Structure 1
Amino acid sequence: MIMHLSQFARTMIGMAGLMCASLAPAHAAPVRDGHVVAELVARESAFVPGQPVMVGVHLTMDPTWHTYWRNSGDSGLATTIKWTLPKGFEAGPIDWPTPTRLPLSTIMNYGYEGDVLLASPIRTAALNGARAQIKARVDWLVCSAEECIPGGADLVLSLPVGASALPDPAHAALFEKARAQLPQPAPKWEFATQRLGDGSYRLTARPLSGQPLPGGAYFFADDAGVTQSGAPQNPTLDNGVLSVTLKPSQYAQGTPTALNGVWVAQGWGDGVTAARVTARIGAGGGAVHDPLVPAPASGADLATLGGMLLTAFIGGMILNLMPCVFPVLSLKIMGFVQSAGDDRRKIALHGWIYVLGVLVSFWVLAGTLMGLRAAGAQLAWGFQLQSPIIVVMLCLLLLTLAFSLLGIFEMGAGLVGAAGRVRTKGGISGSFMSGVLATVLATPCTAPFMGTALAFALTQSTFIGFVVFTALALGMASPYLVLSLRPQWLAFLPKPGAWMDTLKQAMAFPLLGTIIWLLWVFGQQTGMNGLLQAMVAMLLLSIGLWAWGRWGTMFQEAPVRRFALGLLTLCGGAALWFAYAGSLLLPPAAASDASGEWQAFTPEKLAQMRSEGKPVFVDFSAAWCATCIVNKQMVLSRPDVSRSFRNHGVVLMEADWTRRDATITKILAANGRSGVPLHILYAPGAGEPLLVRDLVTTDEILKALDGLPTASPQA
């Protein structure tokens, strides 16, 4: 009898355990990672084969911290969920609750503060066993005003399998709250989008049945790269129609067929505050414009375009005075000298061919910029010198040109030969290649007026962008074209003689000076080890060019010329290998400057300094930007400017764009710039920057600093 009672007790205990297991809560233990607690929860209490179950990742953020929506805005990263499910199960898309705006300095982000439930429907299948388990790998970026920290967690949820399931009372309220935060249809409204002449979008809402117009409108685009998150939307009410204006993103991939997103406003009706919107572009009388065709423009738009074209032309002219272009102008001086006795029509032809070389090069740059921008890349003026391999290849090209000018060897055919014949034979191809080379070397410089024109070009349609780049090219080529069309001005040059050979050799030294600058840029990008490899590459190329000049002439016997060609090929190939290997290296971690005054820029550090009430000056520059270097040395490093910075307690930050940096590119674009230099002065407590300029003068800096309070002396 005792034995029977013992067996009965064990049976009852086992049944009780199974019952407890079947009644286990529909969630897993929460996991904390940094400033976020993550938990995997289910709305239903069991899996029912063939019926969907709502499962969600519940994120709870510490106070002052936030995570991001599906479109994070100007920065940040959306939370991702990777499911591991039983065979036959399938997870649906995330139901994203309506986000909130998270402004930070000059950028606008979208996300969640406090907590958020990211729920997905899970389609179930036939199951064997009493329970089923699902897993989720969740990754997020959590940020405060001072810093951002990536985080993640591996979550597990186990539920019983049953014939029916009731809502889990522990999480019913959580899922109901999340459902209330989802954007809802607004059937009493008609939504439409028009493409305006300046490329922006006008999103309109028209009531279908006498609905009162809502207020406080703001549109969240579903996908990044469609509209500019930080641009003002300017909601308006006009003739019973609510509208907002959305600027297209500079990284937009073509023209969308519709705007999809969430339109938040007070008063959509039926308790809806966040409307799910899909508005086809062109609906409601709007016209769909092909990005390759100029949109119809009003008189004001045409005036704006005309002003920008004039600005671009003047900026292109001034670009000839920048230090980047001077080495190639030395080649053009030789072209003028050698053309002094030529026929006027021949001189004019060389001028037009040079213009064509500049035009084609600018068109290629414009096409590359806009094509990569459409593909989602974040690029701007001077982008090619952000690539170390292009910098070191320019060094090798300029070294080849310099050796030719010095007479170490004579140019052959090909790309370099075409560029060099401008100073030897005045060839047509030489004039064209001089225009190409002038454009390539001009891109590190941003002349006055250029910054505004470039920013305008890179935010317009493809056609308008090409027109602005054409104006830049014509402005840059115009001085040489004018001189070639007025050959009588060449009469002031002395008659040809031995002095020309001396001048030719002297013209090599500006090229060698440019090589020094490019090597310094390359060293900034790759460190001392990369710089050493670049110098080895140049030494090898020098040996090959010297051997070709010594034994590769037509006066040598064929075996000797073949030996010289083989040595040139061997040394040239080795030089390319060392150049490529050096370009892959990275420099040591960046540090403050020698004086300790300048700090490395990050958006988080900027936000921290501003939250502490400190004035901040940010210098956006790059090692390859000659204009930036000159401006810093001639203005920012002046003793009176440095003293004023210290007297007003200004925190100095340097945003280094030498290598490609998506964050800096976004900030440049948000301030209407497509390249460096850019200088921004933030005053304490001010919403907008006190100063935003590309090139600054000493007087401008000192005047702006005089508007700041004097810093208290440190104890």
Structure 2
Amino acid sequence: MISRSTLSSVAAGLLVLLAALLSACLPALGASGPWQQTETVEGRLVAAVDGAGSLDSIPLGLHLKMKPGWKTYWRSPGDAGLPPQLAWDGSANLAGTEMRWPAPHRFTLFGIETFGYDGEVVFPIAARPAAPGQALDLRASVDLLVCSDICVPQRLDLTLALPEGPASSAGADANLIARFASRVPGDGAASGLSIESVQAAGKSLRVVATARDPFVDPDLFVEAGDGTAFGAPRIDFADGDRRIAVTLPVTGEPSALEGMPVTLTLVDGLRAMERAATVEAPGAGQTGDAAGLAAMLGFALVGGLLLNLMPCVLPVLSLKLLSVVSHGGSAPREIRAGFLASAAGILFSFLVLAGAAVALKLTGSAVGWGIQFQQPLFLVFMVVLVTVFAANLWGLFEIPLPRAIADAAVGGHGGHAPSLRGHFATGALATLLATPCSAPFLGTAVGFALARGPLEIVAVFLALGLGLALPFLAVAAFPRLAARLPRPGRWMVALRRVLGGALALTGVWLLSVLAVQIGPAAALAVGALMVAVVLALAVRRRLPGRIRFAGGVAAALLAVAAFGMPMALDRPASQAAAATDAEWVPFDRAAIAEQVAAGRTVFVDVTATWCITCQANKRLVLSRDPVAGRLFGGAVVPMQADWTRPDDRIAAYLAEHGRYGIPFNMVYGPGAPEGIALPELLTEAAVLAALDRAG
């Protein structure tokens, strides 16, 4: 028989084993205090980390759950109510706290407007230890006014003990705090909201606001310094529900609104923004809007001009150079006409891009600067185009039809001056090869345009095109600059061969981008077909009589066959997405808030293989010390968003920040939970300063 003591030992062992299994299966929770409960509300303190670590600021939360039918109040409760009050008397190792307020809801009862929360709410709190690295013992007395048909004051005495040890993420509690921290109104960049004007309108306040995505259920809360109260808003929608005009009547004693400082909190579902403003006189905002558009047009003009200096435009300089040289000794009238035609090609191409952007936006599709380079068929088209241009520069076109096509594309054959169609096509090609780059000022201007209506998009894109065309217009204005160049001659044959080689290198770069999207095998197949096109054109020159036509047909068929390679040999998108550099963490929008809540710094790099400016930033700044040492030394989470192929998550992330082109870099951390945006062209000083500020 088995003795009773043996059975007791076995039972105890099974209980220990069961407890271990249960602890292994349960989700990780942070250092959370016990619940305190009344008849109307229950609450507790929670932390986003398991230990104090060495953090100077520890992310906490006041977690409240109201019983059904009850509510509590925001920092500005409205016509009645009181906000929650916290006292930290009796806490150990606590130097101070800062509480933030998630966006509130509006409650209307018998014409009384109040603002607050029902159901569940977490108030994010940043606690500063007096001695970082030591345990934190918190005691909070929370005074609440909880209301339904009646109002009942409540007090909760809450505690939380945070031990010494690593400040690792606290799982479910960290996610809970991060979820409500994301509802704390920011400046509007992340939420896609913007307040355009704040004006007095008689005895009412009129606020005009815009949104990147259409408004669904907007509301506006106004806090006035002298206690002026406002009634329920009347909201008028316009521009496809992307623009609203909110009118709030003044209640109680009338006040002079003009010049009054106010704090505005705009809420639409889960997105919100906050802005301090001064009430302007009626009509003042219209001048501000016009001034803002004028400033953005200036940015666009400068950004377009700077595109001439960006690395992605350098390959087309061969065509520009050939165009200038071919004018040597020409009459000023011919020179002016040629360069005006090139400028017209640039402006026409930007008008086409603007029209495409407007159409995509109206259909709700993702829109951005350079997104056509995400499409394999477009890349194949560009590879075929530069191959044909290079073959023309090498003198491989001899028969009338290809010569006519080449003349329309690169401007003639041999030593003849380009036609006006050739100059026009040169400007169009310059525009196509410029779109993978985002020059300084360009990103700001494009973001402004794509967040607004069709008229603004067309105006900004035309200003960009005018900036890119300015060098052509300058030569058109002073044609004697080109007339003084040497006259065309035999020396141009050697020059054409060199410039054809430059275009061939452009084709190699385009193939490298294609390899990332559809795989090396398909890209190599396209490259082999282009080599075959050039060989077919070269052999065709040596064929007698009518047989030459067969060589041209063979070259055309080989070029057409290249367009089938992306469909025949495309690799799965999952494999292409796995091409993120090994040093980088794949982009995860939700993980950013979790990492910041745990006290870490996150560096986000939105990049693409087709973005030459991105690659220049990587090689010149991000991959070199001391920046590389900071990014990959373990103290920073380097997160890469590869936009080489279309990705709705990345497009939405860019749109959150009012950006529609890359490169785009953001730095997040305890010191900058909303993020710090970096310039398009990175510098070592800018990156290190942002990392220091965020951390």
Judge conservation of contact 2:366–2:651 (CA < 8 Å) in 1.
yes
2:647 paired with 1:661: yes
Judge conservation of contact 1:355–1:435 (CA < 8 Å) in 2.
yes
2:568 paired with 1:568: no
Match of 2:210 in 1: 247
Structure 2 distance, partners of 1:445, 1:495, is 35
After superposition, the Cα gap between the structure-2 partners of 1:529 and 1:705, relative to the gap in structure 1 and judged at 3 Å, is same
After superposition, the Cα gap between the structure-2 partners of 1:336 and 1:299, relative to the gap in structure 1 and judged at 3 Å, is same
Judge conservation of contact 2:532–2:558 (CA < 8 Å) in 1.
yes
Using the TM superposition, give the Cα deviation of residue 676 of structure 1 relative to its aligned residue in structure 2, in angstroms.
0.3
After superposition, the Cα gap between the structure-2 partners of 1:464 and 1:341, relative to the gap in structure 1 and judged at 3 Å, is same
Judge conservation of contact 1:536–1:575 (CA < 8 Å) in 2.
no
Judge conservation of contact 1:396–1:538 (CA < 8 Å) in 2.
yes
Structure 1 distance, partners of 2:578, 2:351, is 38
Using the TM superposition, give the Cα deviation of residue 613 of structure 1 relative to its aligned residue in structure 2, in angstroms.
1.7
2:470 paired with 1:478: yes
Q: Pick one of 520, 528, 542 that aligns with 1:536.
A: 528
Judge conservation of contact 1:331–1:422 (CA < 8 Å) in 2.
no
2:259 paired with 1:303: no
Judge conservation of contact 2:602–2:668 (CA < 8 Å) in 1.
yes
- TM-score, normalised via structure 2 length: 0.61
After superposition, the Cα gap between the structure-2 partners of 1:264 and 1:451, relative to the gap in structure 1 and judged at 3 Å, is closer
- TM-score, normalised via structure 1 length: 0.60
Q: 1:478 corresponds to which letter in structure 2? A: L
Q: Pick one of 473, 479, 484 that aligns with 1:487.
A: 479
Structure 2 distance, partners of 1:383, 1:671, is 17
Give runs of aligned pairs for residues 454-603 of structure 1, distance below 5 A: 454-490=446-482, 492-551=484-543, 556-557=544-545, 559-578=546-565, 580-582=567-569, 586=573, 588=575, 590-591=577-578, 596-603=582-589
Judge conservation of contact 2:534–2:555 (CA < 8 Å) in 1.
no
Judge conservation of contact 2:443–2:661 (CA < 8 Å) in 1.
yes
Q: Secondary structure at the match of 2:217?
A: strand
Judge conservation of contact 2:516–2:576 (CA < 8 Å) in 1.
no
Match of 2:624 in 1: 638
Q: Pick one of 382, 395, 398 that aligns with 1:394.
A: 382
1:201-232 deviations in Å (ceiling 9; x for gaps): xxxx9x9x9945544699xxxxxxxx995526
Q: Secondary structure at the match of 2:471?
A: helix
1:405-445 deviations in Å (ceiling 9; x for gaps): 11233472666541122675310100111111110111001
Judge conservation of contact 1:527–1:587 (CA < 8 Å) in 2.
no
After superposition, the Cα gap between the structure-2 partners of 1:514 and 1:378, relative to the gap in structure 1 and judged at 3 Å, is same
Match of 1:231 in 2: 193
* Structure 1: gaps spanning 5 or more residues: 1-60, 65-175, 181-204, 219-226, 253-258, 267-274, 287-294, 710-715
Judge conservation of contact 1:335–1:422 (CA < 8 Å) in 2.
no
Q: Secondary structure at the match of 1:619?
A: strand
2:217 paired with 1:261: yes
Q: 2:464 corresponds to which letter in structure 1? A: L
Match of 1:356 in 2: 344
Judge conservation of contact 2:437–2:613 (CA < 8 Å) in 1.
yes
Q: Secondary structure at the match of 1:336?
A: helix
Structure 1 distance, partners of 2:371, 2:464, is 17
Q: 1:420 corresponds to which letter in structure 2? A: V
Q: Secondary structure at the match of 1:507?
A: helix
1:36-95 deviations in Å (ceiling 9; x for gaps): xxxxxxxxxxxxxxxxxxxxxxxxx9999xxxxxxxxxxxxxxxxxxxxxxxxxxxxxxx
Q: 1:376 corresponds to which letter in structure 2? A: G
Task: Identify the range of structure 1 (415-424 vs 447-456) with the bigger mean alpha-carbon deviation.
Answer: 415-424
After superposition, the Cα gap between the structure-2 partners of 1:665 and 1:485, relative to the gap in structure 1 and judged at 3 Å, is same
After superposition, the Cα gap between the structure-2 partners of 1:262 and 1:643, relative to the gap in structure 1 and judged at 3 Å, is closer
Structure 2 distance, partners of 1:451, 1:62, is 42
Using the TM superposition, give the Cα deviation of residue 393 of structure 1 relative to its aligned residue in structure 2, in angstroms.
1.6
Aligned length: 479
Judge conservation of contact 1:395–1:518 (CA < 8 Å) in 2.
yes
Give runs of aligned pairs for residues 190-209 of structure 1, distance below 5 A: none
After superposition, the Cα gap between the structure-2 partners of 1:283 and 1:397, relative to the gap in structure 1 and judged at 3 Å, is closer
Using the TM superposition, give the Cα deviation of residue 589 of structure 1 relative to its aligned residue in structure 2, in angstroms.
5.2
Using the TM superposition, give the Cα deviation of residue 351 of structure 1 relative to its aligned residue in structure 2, in angstroms.
1.3
Q: 1:354 corresponds to which letter in structure 2? A: S
1:115-171 deviations in Å (ceiling 9; x for gaps): xxxxxxxxxxxxxxxxxxxxxxxxxxxxxxxxxxxxxxxxxxxxxxxxxxxxxxxxx
Q: 2:458 corresponds to which letter in structure 1? A: F
Judge conservation of contact 2:672–2:694 (CA < 8 Å) in 1.
no
1:265-300 deviations in Å (ceiling 9; x for gaps): 89xxxxxxxx999855599999xxxxxxxx997222
Q: 2:210 corresponds to which letter in structure 1? A: K
Using the TM superposition, give the Cα deviation of residue 505 of structure 1 relative to its aligned residue in structure 2, in angstroms.
0.9
Judge conservation of contact 1:409–1:550 (CA < 8 Å) in 2.
no
Structure 2 distance, partners of 1:278, 1:490, is 59
Q: 1:261 corresponds to which letter in structure 2? A: D
Using the TM superposition, give the Cα deviation of residue 384 of structure 1 relative to its aligned residue in structure 2, in angstroms.
0.6
Using the TM superposition, give the Cα deviation of residue 461 of structure 1 relative to its aligned residue in structure 2, in angstroms.
1.8
Match of 1:164 in 2: none
Task: Identify the range of structure 1 (622-631 vs 667-676) with the bigger mean alpha-carbon deviation.
Answer: 667-676
Match of 1:608 in 2: 594
2:375 paired with 1:419: no
* Structure 2: gaps spanning 5 or more residues: 1-26, 31-66, 72-105, 119-188, 223-231, 239-243, 249-282
Using the TM superposition, give the Cα deviation of residue 548 of structure 1 relative to its aligned residue in structure 2, in angstroms.
3.7
Using the TM superposition, give the Cα deviation of residue 686 of structure 1 relative to its aligned residue in structure 2, in angstroms.
3.3
Structure 2 distance, partners of 1:234, 1:359, is 30
After superposition, the Cα gap between the structure-2 partners of 1:630 and 1:280, relative to the gap in structure 1 and judged at 3 Å, is closer
Judge conservation of contact 1:348–1:484 (CA < 8 Å) in 2.
yes
Q: Secondary structure at the match of 1:425?
A: coil
Give runs of aligned pairs for residues 2-17 of structure 1, distance below 5 A: none
Q: Secondary structure at the match of 2:675?
A: coil
Using the TM superposition, give the Cα deviation of residue 678 of structure 1 relative to its aligned residue in structure 2, in angstroms.
0.8
Q: Secondary structure at the match of 2:365?
A: coil
Structure 2 distance, partners of 1:700, 1:691, is 10
Match of 2:679 in 1: 693
Using the TM superposition, give the Cα deviation of residue 521 of structure 1 relative to its aligned residue in structure 2, in angstroms.
0.6
After superposition, the Cα gap between the structure-2 partners of 1:532 and 1:586, relative to the gap in structure 1 and judged at 3 Å, is farther
Task: Identify the range of structure 1 (664-673 vs 612-621) with the bigger mean alpha-carbon deviation.
Answer: 664-673
Q: 2:583 corresponds to which letter in structure 1? A: E
Using the TM superposition, give the Cα deviation of residue 243 of structure 1 relative to its aligned residue in structure 2, in angstroms.
6.3
Structure 1 distance, partners of 2:652, 2:646, is 11
Judge conservation of contact 2:603–2:666 (CA < 8 Å) in 1.
yes
Give runs of aligned pairs for residues 103-142 of structure 1, distance below 5 A: none
Give runs of aligned pairs for residues 138-217 of structure 1, distance below 5 A: 211-215=111-115
Judge conservation of contact 1:422–1:431 (CA < 8 Å) in 2.
no
Q: 2:442 corresponds to which letter in structure 1? A: M
After superposition, the Cα gap between the structure-2 partners of 1:567 and 1:686, relative to the gap in structure 1 and judged at 3 Å, is closer
Structure 2 distance, partners of 1:298, 1:244, is 12
After superposition, the Cα gap between the structure-2 partners of 1:688 and 1:497, relative to the gap in structure 1 and judged at 3 Å, is same
Q: Secondary structure at the match of 1:687?
A: strand
Structure 2 distance, partners of 1:576, 1:358, is 26
After superposition, the Cα gap between the structure-2 partners of 1:279 and 1:337, relative to the gap in structure 1 and judged at 3 Å, is closer
Q: Secondary structure at the match of 1:676?
A: coil
Structure 2 distance, partners of 1:353, 1:397, is 20
Q: Pick one of 423, 427, 433 that aligns with 1:435.
A: 427
Judge conservation of contact 1:391–1:518 (CA < 8 Å) in 2.
yes
Match of 2:303 in 1: 315
1:511-545 deviations in Å (ceiling 9; x for gaps): 11111111111111112232233223323433433
